[in-house]
Structure formats: structure tokens, C-alpha cells
A and B are shown apart, each in its own frame.
Chain A
Amino acid sequence: MAEAATLTLPTRRDEAWRYADMDGVARLGVAALDQWQAIDVPAGDSVTRCLIVGSGQPELRRFRVTLGEGARAAFFVTNAGQDYTRVEVEVRLARGAHFEFGGVTIGGGDATREFVTKVVHGEPEATSNQTVRAVHWNTGTGNFLGEIKVARHAQKTDAAQDFKALLLETGASANAVPQLEIFADDVKCAHGATVGELDEAARFYMMARGLDPATAQRLLVQAFLGDAFVALDDADEHARLLDAALSALEGARL
């Protein structure tokens, strides 16, 4: 019985669930919350995960990544759910390790899609880079909650976080919650967030050269999303993630 008590649903008062779709969370149920996937990367090793997540049902993916000295983990995710879809990654970095995260949330309807990351720089000289792009329409929502913790002795940490959202119509929304907790004094931590609309001047320019509105929009969105996958060298995986995102765009408001 004591076990069951620890498995309660989170509420919006929990910082990491502040913008979650609580109805979607309820439909996921408590059992889903306990499904963590552990990834241990030994010193010097490297792993890359490329994921396309999202369906007509609520989805939750939770990863706990532990990086040994000089190890590297890269996550690239297209989050195109038509229902509440949440991807969480917790990372602990040893000395000189690197964590790369490139994420795209894309979609309309009224669904919430979100990335929640917690990157713990517990040792010196580790680096992390997170780039998230969100494209939404109707009353769709994209969230990026990114927590970075730098321990007191984790000097020479270099951690960056960048979020940009493109809202194709009024009613769509995006939330960026960067949370930086830095106890070391010789570190670089950068974060940025912007929310904007499609560049109408660029769209007219493209149409004046013969591109129909849908093609012009697709090209502009493709260019906007590009940054999220720029660190993904595998051309096939790159194309797979981008195609998944762009096919979600079909049916979006022009």
C-alpha cells in the first residue's frame, strides 16, 4: 500500500508539469509514469537516439541517461502527437561528457506536445547543447521545460539551450521554461527563447517566384526546423525525422 502512495498523478503545481495537459496525464494513468528507460553510456562511448513520437493517444517517454567520462549522448526527436505527448530526458554528465538534444514539436488540433529535460552537470568540463523548435496551429501547444544544474565544482561547464516557436495562427501557443541553477563560477550557460509568426515577406517572395502557398510554407517551416537537427549527421535519420515533421504540417492553416 505504501508503494501505491508514491505513484500519484502529478499536478500543475509541480514545476515540471506546469504546462502539461492534465486530462492527458490522467488518461496515461499512474502506471505509465513509472516507465523510465535507463541508458548508461560508458566512458568514451557514444549513443545517438532518433525518435518519432506521437499518435492519436497520449504518450509519455521518459529517459534517464548517465554519461561516463568523455561519453556522448545525442537525442533527436520529432514530437508530432495528435494527443498529449511528452518526452522527458534526465541526464547526468561526468567530466568532459557531452549531451546533445534536438527536438521538434509540431501540430495543430488542441493537443499539447512537450519536451522536459533535466541536465545535471555534476563534474567539470562537460558540455550540453539543446535546440528545440515548435510549430503549431489551431489551438495546438508546444512546450520546452529545460532545467540545467551545475554543481559547485563543475567548472568549465558549457551548457546551451535554445527555443524558437513559430505560431501559424492566433490560438496556438508555446511555452518555454528555462531553469538554470548554477553553483560553479567558471561556466558558460546560455539560453534563449523566441516566439514568432511566419515571415510574410518571405512567403510573398517565394510565391512571386512561382511556389504555391503550401510549398512556400513547407520550405519556410523546413528551414525553421533545420536548426534542431543540424547536429544529426546521419542523412537517412535526418530525412526521416524531418519528413515526419513536415508530413504533420499537411493540413495546417496557410
Chain B
Amino acid sequence: MLEITNLHATVGGPDNPTPILKGLTLHVPAGEIHAIMGPNGAGKSTLANVLGGKPGYDVTEGSVTFNGQDLLALEPHERAAAGLFLGFQYPVEIPGVSNVQFLREALNAQRKARGEAPLSGGEFLKLAKDKAALLQMDMDMLKRQVNVGFSGGEKKRAEMVQMGILDPAFAVLDETDSGLDIDALRIVGAGINAIMRAPDKAVLLITHYQRLLDVVKPDKVSVLAGGRIVETGGPELALRLEAEGYDAVMADG
């Protein structure tokens, strides 16, 4: 489903490029939830941003193929329409735009790009209500401005409601668990399972902690360090990292 091959990426623009990803290779097939863990500065958020197409990140070498398509050739909105969802580590506040208006326009833009008919206002509200309920979010919050006045945890929960509404084929979730208390973590984890656990879907789950993985239960865990995947294993790898730390696990090879 997603094939990343020898990916090199820099930040800082062409005049002052700083290499962050240095030959990252990773294959995430359909049906897989793949957790990425790694120390600070390893390139985890850069990977998420490069996959999402954020301006300011330059791919200097390598390729990313999504369902056979060259992902890197697509604009961010085209990636979304192709079925990619980027869950933000820091969701952005948009004063003056309501969640309902934003998400309805976003969903209908994606549907249009895929040649599907737009949802009516009523159909959209029903869908939004269902997904908000799944994440135990009050529908009133969806009528408010995008992320404005939301706590850190509410923003992350709202991200998952967005994911539920947009129903992507592939989700890249960048530290979706940061800022969540224990109850919210369970709700968000269960939401990820409900929305994305399917044979034709897959998830790249970037996280620092085992806690979310207790709920989501990844099929694979990879360690990202120094801009490359240095080790891949099953769920037990995350447990070892939690117990022993990155240095010890990486020293073992």
C-alpha cells in the first residue's frame, strides 16, 4: 500500500539544507498498523510532514509509492483525495471557520476529486454526528471554530473525528497520543481501531509511548533513528524499548 524507498529529505530550503531523513526504507501493506518509535530528533515528524507534502521539506533522493502512485508528485490536497490522512502533532486553529463547514467542504472536495457525488448538508451532519459519537465528542464542539479554544486533548480527539468523517485508506498519525490523559487515550485508541482496522486500510502510527500501543496493538513496530529505520519487529519490540530504552535496544542490533 505504501512503499517508502531510500527516502532522503532536508529542511531549511535549498540555501541552507539540513538533512533529516537519510535513506529511509519502509513498506506498509494494506491491513497493517505499523508503529514508528524513535528518539527525539530522529526524523519522525519530518517523515510525517514529507508524506503529507508540507512546504519547507525537500526530498533529495528516493521514492514514495502509494497504491502504485508516485505520492511525492501529488499536491497535499491530491494526496488527501487519494486517501492519505495526516494526523497533526499540533492541529492548527482556524478562527472564523467552523468544523462543520471546513469538514464538509473538505469531504466534498475529496469526493469531487474521486468523481463521487457531494454529500448534502443533512447527510454530512448525520455522518459527522456518528463519528463524533464514536470519539465521545460533543456535537456542539463540531459547530465551533476549527480547534479554537480546544484543549490539547480535544484537538487530538477532533483530529480523529476528522479522520472518521474523511474515511481515509491510509493514516499517518504523528504523536496523536501526546497531550491525552488516560481516558482520552483509550477513546482515541479505540477510535483508531474502529476507523482504520480493516483489510484494505493501513496506519503509520508515530508515537513515543507504549500506552497507545496497548490499545491499538500494532502489527509491526519500527525504530527510526538518525533518519533511517534501524530495526523492525513485532509488538514485543515496543515493549523492549519501553523497558530498556532506545540506546540499549539499538546497541543490541
Give B95 Cβ to nearest chain A Cβ, in Å.
Answer: 6
Contact of B88 among A200, A205, A213 (CB under 8 A): A205
Segment at the B interface, from A43-51, A58-66, A140-148, A219-227? A219-227
Q: How far is the CA of A226 from the CA of B110 in the complex (A)?
A: 26
Contact of B94 among A200, A205, A212, A213 (CB under 8 A): A205
Main secondary structure of the interface of B (DSSP, over half): helix
Residue tally, chain A, CB below 8 Å to B: 23
Any chain A CB within 8 A of the CB of B105? yes
Contact A207–B80 (Cβ < 8 Å): yes
Contact B94–A220 (Cβ < 8 Å): yes
Any chain B CB within 8 A of the CB of A53? no
Interface residues of B in 21-68 (CB under 8 A from A): 52-55
Q: How far is the CA of A100 from the CA of B80 in the complex (A)?
A: 43
Contact A210–B81 (Cβ < 8 Å): yes
Q: How far is the CA of A158 from the CA of B75 in the complex (A)?
A: 49
Any chain A CB within 8 A of the CB of B238? no
Give B160 Cβ to nearest chain A Cβ, in Å.
Answer: 13
Which residue among A199, A208, A209, A210 has the maximum number of chain B CB atoms within 10 Å of its CB? A210
Chain B residues within an 8 Å CB radius of A206: 94, 102, 106
Any chain B CB within 8 A of the CB of A215? yes
Chain B residues within an 8 Å CB radius of A227: 96
Contact B94–A210 (Cβ < 8 Å): no
- Could you list 17 A-B pairs, sorted by A, with CB under 8 Å? A205-B92, A206-B94, A207-B53, A207-B77, A208-B52, A208-B86, A209-B80, A209-B106, A210-B113, A210-B166, A211-B109, A212-B75, A215-B105, A219-B102, A223-B97, A224-B96, A226-B96
Contact of B95 among A211, A215, A223 (CB under 8 A): A223
Chain A residues within an 8 Å CB radius of B94: 199, 202, 205-206, 219-220, 223
Contact B92–A201 (Cβ < 8 Å): yes
Any chain A CB within 8 A of the CB of B103? yes
Contact B97–A212 (Cβ < 8 Å): no
Residue of A whose beta carbon sits closest to that of B107: A210
Interface residues of B in 181-216 (CB under 8 A from A): none
Contact of A200 among B55, B80, B105 (CB under 8 A): B55
Any chain A CB within 8 A of the CB of B162? yes
Given A207-B80, A209-B166, A223-B94; 7 other pairs, CB 8 A cutoff: A204-B55, A205-B91, A207-B75, A210-B107, A220-B94, A220-B97, A227-B96
Give B90 Cβ to nearest chain A Cβ, in Å.
Answer: 9
Residue of A whose beta carbon sits closest to that of B52: A208
Any chain A CB within 8 A of the CB of B227? no
Give A197 Cβ to nearest chain B Cβ, in Å.
Answer: 14
Give B37 Cβ to nearest chain A Cβ, in Å.
Answer: 23
Chain A residues within an 8 Å CB radius of B80: 207-210
- Residues on A lying within 8 angstroms of B by beta carbon are 199-202, 204-213, 215-216, 219-220, 222-224, 226-227
Residue of A whose beta carbon sits closest to that of B54: A204
Q: How far is the CA of A30 from the CA of B103 in the complex (A)?
A: 52
Give A219 Cβ to nearest chain B Cβ, in Å.
Answer: 6
Chain A residues within an 8 Å CB radius of B54: 204, 208
Any chain A CB within 8 A of the CB of B218? no
Any chain A CB within 8 A of the CB of B76? yes
Q: How far is the CA of A191 from the CA of B53 in the complex (A)?
A: 40
Contact B76–A204 (Cβ < 8 Å): yes
Chain A residues within an 8 Å CB radius of B86: 208
Q: Which 6 A-B pairs have the closest CB atoms?
A: A223-B96, A210-B80, A209-B106, A210-B110, A207-B76, A205-B92
Give B49 Cβ to nearest chain A Cβ, in Å.
Answer: 9
Residue of B whose beta carbon sits closest to that of A223: B96
Contact A219–B105 (Cβ < 8 Å): yes
Contact A219–B97 (Cβ < 8 Å): yes
Assuming A200-B55, A204-B54, is B103 touching A209 (CB within 8 A)? yes
Chain B residues within an 8 Å CB radius of A213: 75, 77
Residue of B whose beta carbon sits closest to that of A221: B96
Q: How far is the CA of A216 from the CA of B94 in the complex (A)?
A: 11
Give B150 Cβ to nearest chain A Cβ, in Å.
Answer: 14
Chain A residues within an 8 Å CB radius of B97: 219-220, 222-223
Chain A residues within an 8 Å CB radius of B103: 209
Contact A210–B95 (Cβ < 8 Å): no
